[in-house]
Amino acid sequence: MCGIVGYIGPRDATAIILNGLKRLEYRGYDSAGLAVIHDGKIDVRRDAGKLSRLVELIESEPISGSPGIGHTRWATHGEPSARNAHPHLGSTGEVVVVHNGIVENYLELKDELSAEGVVFNSDTDTETIVHLVEHYQSTGLDLSDSARKTFTQIQGAHGIVLLSSKEPDKMVCARIGNAGGVVIGLGDGENFIASDIPAILEHTRKVIFLDSRQMAVVTRDNVHIETLEGRPVDPQVHIVSWDPVAAEKGEYRHFMQKEIHEQVRSLTDTLAGRVDFEKGQIRLPELNLTPEFAQRLDRIFITACGTAAHAGMVGKILIEKIARIPCEVQLGSEFRYSDPITNKNSLVLSISQSGETADTLAAMEEGRKKGATLWSVVNAIGSQAMRIADGFISMQAGPEVGVASTKAFTAPLVDLYMLAVLLADMRGVIDNTVRKTLVADLRLVPDLASRALNTEPGVEIVAGRLKDIRDCLYLGRGINMPIAFEGALKLKEISYVHAEGYPAGEMKHGPIALIDKMMPVVCIAPKDPWHDKMISQIQQAKARGGTVIAIATEGDELVGSLADLTLWVPECPWMLSPIVTVIPLQLLAYHIAAMRGLDVDQPRNLAKSVTVE
């Protein structure tokens, strides 16, 4: 969950690393630090709190040098404090480490090292890494061999970068398991290391992704990669197409607001090159889907977490309705423990913005073990979920920085719709007319998103009314039930308001007891096959004194007359309705949080990529 940046080259590493960390702060923001080698010595600055505190510290106590490494932390072991912030120095002051992950056997290692007389200066598990490296250096090994021995001794999943003042011409990094990515950026006479592409995008688009159990020795002019067992690896260089400006806030107050507004573009990009409107056909070549597999596929498990899981719930309805393949959605954190009944005719389809979520990756591993085919729908190019899959759909959402996921929710809705049509076509379960209509409807998507964004002035009025609430219910049915879950998740994670998404039909079985005049009830009631049922639910909420905020289709006078406040969304084919209903809910959560003066992009206790289980 932490952010890592490293630089080696002729320039001063300090500014490069601070800028890179700024773009990674969403990965963790409870403390930050930086280390550089200067005149043969390691200099460290670190502090608790956000990156701005580190910047102030460096302004008052400047450092400069190269190579350098930096880190933003999401605490797992040890409270967020200056002493627990990374980078961590060893006892000699000649080795320094930044780390993402958990050293699962750190207590055991700490006992062994302490017995040898090592004194620990933090409460972190990370510190064991640097002491182990020093231990091996003291036996005469160089930095890379000491690092390798250390990497094979620590248990768990990790992204690690090390520097040593004894060998100031190199950085050593490794990726072990699923603690998040390690990407090496290739420059001209300089090289970079990062946990995520946006950190280095302004310097280079040429990148190499480390696979699990690979380590690299990075100098100014060279990158040498090998496995932890010492086998040399011939790396594949990827060219990243993301625009560095896409990772900037621009005219917007927060990344989240910018990303909500980017959905017209991200959905246009999602369709680009995949939809042949003339022939009414879908192309998803990176899935490597064969007609033979489409025919024998008898069960799909969608695995994902949080917002991505809500996208999966919509996907299940689309796949079952259009392609008629049984599909179930399992949370990444549960799948592995559910002893899933899979075989070679099953598909495990993971959805992930980061492609690095530990629970989702663990679910994929479980699917692999049980003989299923693995596909992923993923945003971060080159991420683990993309690389370990047999086929993938790349979301085309571009960098998403706000911790609350928005454009990486709507992109997979369209991806899964396209997938459902493609599978249905290959299995022969839809005729040409149905297929062509379903494909033609996709043409509407960017305009629908744009018109849903027009709800913003109305959303601001509703947000003004709701900004001081303590609880909120979100109700939906059918394809819009997951949108109720998603609307509630958005509100709770950035505004800290207790919010619950509920299948509207279940209200009468208990939760309706919660409704009184203090309880706002957001009812998602567009013109879809569940519309009439939602009308009854709105009436039931009104009868108990609840304040109803409806998401309704333009011109739906009945819903308009029943609700206290209505946000109007454009009419559209019901299978695309989640795109238009979720956008006002994203905006509502955003404006409530902004009116409450909260840190929208970096809500408390959260991080963008959840690389711990």
The Cβ of residue 114 has, within 10 Å, a number of other Cβ atoms equal to: 12
- In whole angstroms, give the CA distance from residue 332 to residue 404: 18
Both ends of the chain: CA-CA distance in Å?
11
State the minimum distance, in angstroms, from the CB of residue 610 to ligand AGP.
5
State the minimum distance, in angstroms, from the CB of residue 551 to ligand AGP.
19
Residue 128 Cα distances to 147, 172, 194, 201, angstroms: 12, 17, 22, 32
Letters for 505-544 (x = contact with ligand AGP by CB under 6 A, - = none) are: ----------------------------------------
196 in contact with ligand AGP (CB under 6 A):
no
Nearer to ligand AGP, 425 or 493 (CB): 493
Q: Residues 157, 548, 569, 610: which binds ligand AGP (CB under 6 A)?
A: 610
Q: Are 440 and 277 in contact (CB under 8 A)?
A: yes
| Secondary structure (3-state) at 421 | helix
Q: Residues 179, 403, 524, 594: which binds ligand AGP (CB under 6 A)?
A: 403
Q: How many residues does the chain have?
A: 613
393 in contact with ligand AGP (CB under 6 A):
no
Q: What is the dihedral of CA 337, 338, 344, 350, to 10 degrees?
A: -70
Nearer to ligand AGP, 190 or 601 (CB): 601
Nearer to ligand AGP, 218 or 587 (CB): 587
399 in contact with ligand AGP (CB under 6 A):
no
For residues 289-328, which are near ligand AGP according to CB under 6 A? Answer: 305-308
Nearer to ligand AGP, 354 or 455 (CB): 354
Letters for 89-128 (x = contact with ligand AGP by CB under 6 A, - = none) are: ----------------------------------------
| Secondary structure (3-state) at 127 | helix
State the minimum distance, in angstroms, from the CB of residue 448 to ligand AGP.
22
- In whole angstroms, give the CA distance from residue 579 to residue 465: 25
State the minimum distance, in angstroms, from the CB of residue 306 to ligand AGP.
2
Q: Are 495 and 484 in contact (CB under 8 A)?
A: no
- In whole angstroms, give the CA distance from residue 610 to residue 304: 12
- In whole angstroms, give the CA distance from residue 203 to residue 200: 6
Which residue of the set 170, 316, 527, 608 is catalytic?
A: 608
Residue 84 Cα distances to 33, 104, 428, 447, angstroms: 10, 17, 59, 49
State the minimum distance, in angstroms, from the CB of residue 576 to ligand AGP.
21
Q: Which helix (H) or strand (E) holds 227?
A: strand 223-227
Nearer to ligand AGP, 294 or 308 (CB): 308
Nearer to ligand AGP, 294 or 459 (CB): 459
For residues 339-358, which are near ligand AGP according to CB under 6 A? Answer: 352-354, 357
For residues 588-607, which are near ligand AGP according to CB under 6 A? Answer: none
What the block records as the tokens of 53 is 């505190």
Q: Are 40 and 165 in contact (CB under 8 A)?
A: yes
Q: How many CA atoms lie within 13 A of 134 on its CB side?
A: 21
Buried b (16+ CB within 10 A) or exposed e, 564-589: ebbbbbbbbebbbbbbbbbbbbbbbb
361 in contact with ligand AGP (CB under 6 A):
no
405 in contact with ligand AGP (CB under 6 A):
yes
Q: Residues 347, 609, 611, 612: which binds ligand AGP (CB under 6 A)?
A: 609
Nearer to ligand AGP, 218 or 610 (CB): 610
State the minimum distance, in angstroms, from the CB of residue 548 to ligand AGP.
25
| Secondary structure (3-state) at 589 | helix
360 in contact with ligand AGP (CB under 6 A):
yes
The CA angle 426-385-219, to the nearest 5 degrees, is 135
- In whole angstroms, give the CA distance from residue 248 to residue 19: 12
For residues 247-286, which are near ligand AGP according to CB under 6 A? Answer: none
For residues 211-240, which are near ligand AGP according to CB under 6 A? Answer: none
Q: Select the residue whose beta carbon is closest to ligand AGP and give its number.
A: 306
Which residue of the set 2, 173, 327, 523 is catalytic?
A: 2
Nearer to ligand AGP, 97 or 403 (CB): 403
Q: Are 96 and 38 in contact (CB under 8 A)?
A: no
Nearer to ligand AGP, 416 or 534 (CB): 416
- In whole angstroms, give the CA distance from residue 209 to residue 224: 13
**Count residues contacting ligand AGP (CB under 6 A)?**
15
493 in contact with ligand AGP (CB under 6 A):
yes
State the minimum distance, in angstroms, from the CB of residue 410 to ligand AGP.
12
- In whole angstroms, give the CA distance from residue 212 to residue 228: 9
For residues 144-163, which are near ligand AGP according to CB under 6 A? Answer: none
State the minimum distance, in angstroms, from the CB of residue 136 to ligand AGP.
35
Nearer to ligand AGP, 260 or 576 (CB): 260
Nearer to ligand AGP, 388 or 430 (CB): 388
> Given CA atoms 292, 396, 271, 413 in this order, what sign does their dihedral have?
positive
Q: Determine how β-strand 471-476 pairs with β-strand 498-503.
A: parallel
Q: Are 512 and 544 in contact (CB under 8 A)?
A: yes
Q: Which helix (H) or strand (E) holds 464?
A: helix 456-466
Q: Residues 404, 534, 559, 567: which binds ligand AGP (CB under 6 A)?
A: 404
Catalytic-residue membership of 305 = no
Sheet with strand 498-503: strands edge to edge: 498-503, 471-476, 520-525, 547-553, 565-569
Catalytic-residue membership of 608 = yes
Q: How many CA atoms lie within 13 A of 358 on its CB side?
A: 18
| Secondary structure (3-state) at 184 | strand
State the minimum distance, in angstroms, from the CB of residue 305 to ligand AGP.
4
State the minimum distance, in angstroms, from the CB of residue 439 to ligand AGP.
27
Q: Which range of residues in 74-82, 398-406, 442-450, 504-512 is near ligand AGP by CB under 6 A?
A: 398-406
The Cβ of residue 156 has, within 10 Å, a number of other Cβ atoms equal to: 17
State the minimum distance, in angstroms, from the CB of residue 331 to ligand AGP.
10
Q: Please give the residue ranges that form the binding site for ligand AGP (CB under 6 A).
A: 305-308, 352-354, 357, 360, 403-405, 493, 609-610
Active site residues: 2, 608
